[in-house]
Amino acid sequence: MSLAGRSVTVKVPATTANLGPGFDTLGLALALYDELTVTVREQPGATVQVTGVGEGEVPTDESNLVVRAIAHAFAAYDQPMPGLDLVAHNVIPHGRGLGSSGAAIVSGIMAAKGLLDGIVDIDALGLLALATEMEGHPDNVAPCLFGGLTIAWVTEDGPQFKKLIVHRGVSPLVLVPQATMSTALARSLQPESVPHADAIFNVSRSTLLIAALIQSPELLLAATEDRLHQNYRAEAMPDTSRLIGLLREQGFPAVVSGAGPSILVLCSDPAQRLAAVELVESESAAPWKSLVLAVDFKGATVVTHPVEAA
């Protein structure tokens, strides 16, 4: 079946992973979206137009991460890769712990799902497997795909997930600095092993965090304590670490967003978000962008457009 003329539009949310103690396991989708339109053309290869974040910086040919994700999905299902025109409008900040690479990968895989509609059926676990193969771990791509709060784990049969609905009292705030952070660098600062007591500490806090996010937001400060990763990475992002310490001293459930350097504050009411923003503005000489966001409950979406008559 020829795909010529097929076109899809994909919308994917930003994500924040770890949420403090849930290292490489917990992720949350946020209502901040990249949008992508992909159209099949007769000529081979791919062209990419980017507006917004990454414009003039990211590749605009087949080496683009979104194009590579589309190609990965087509190859996984033994489908020939068609020529493509991509138009991307990006809003998710790059290199700041908000899942931009995961969003790009999910964009491509969802585009492939839409383009192959009626030819190949890619189910939820198939989507997660494809995304995890490219991203390396499922903590960002799971919430990006499915929305809400996700628990992700890996078995012999591949990555798995459970989606949970977040309590309506949870009010996320993301504080974004001008500086960026490499995920690879952040991971390189992790030790090979951690003390037994720290492992037990994080098990208790991560299980408490599930309860806090879906049922009891008043427990978020205690539930977001962590001993597995944030302290080890603190030297690479001193401003982030200092501000998180100040926020937590004042009762705000603040953590590193993903690999950083952005800060996630899981407030229990909207007024608390405003107070957190005021504290950071008063305590930091460098500018931080405040993103007052809702939790995204839908995850990635794809709309298939009718093929226009020749």
Asked if 144 and 13 touch (Cβ cutoff 8 Å), the reply is yes
Annotated ligand binding at 108? The verdict is no
Output the CA angle 79-82-86, nearest 5 degrees: 125
297 by Cβ neighbours in 10 Å (0-12 / 13-18 / 19+) ranks as middle
Give, rounded to a whole angstrom, the gap between the first and last alpha carbons of the chain.
Answer: 17
Please give the Cα distance from 245 to 209 (Å, whole number): 19
Annotated ligand binding at 95? The verdict is yes
Within 13 A of 117's CA, how many CA atoms are on the CB side?
A: 13
The 3-state secondary structure of 277-295, one letter per residue? HHHHHHHCCCCEEEEECCE
Asked if 38 and 8 touch (Cβ cutoff 8 Å), the reply is yes
Annotated ligand binding at 22? The verdict is no
Annotated ligand binding at 93? The verdict is yes
Annotated ligand binding at 258? The verdict is no
Please give the Cα distance from 223 to 213 (Å, whole number): 9
Asked if 72 and 109 touch (Cβ cutoff 8 Å), the reply is yes
Annotated ligand binding at 101? The verdict is yes
Q: 282 Cβ partners below 8 Å, 6+ apart?
A: none
Annotated ligand binding at 148? The verdict is no
Annotated ligand binding at 100? The verdict is yes
Annotated ligand binding at 97? The verdict is yes
> Which positions make up the binding site for ATP?
93-103
> Which positions make up the binding site?
93-103
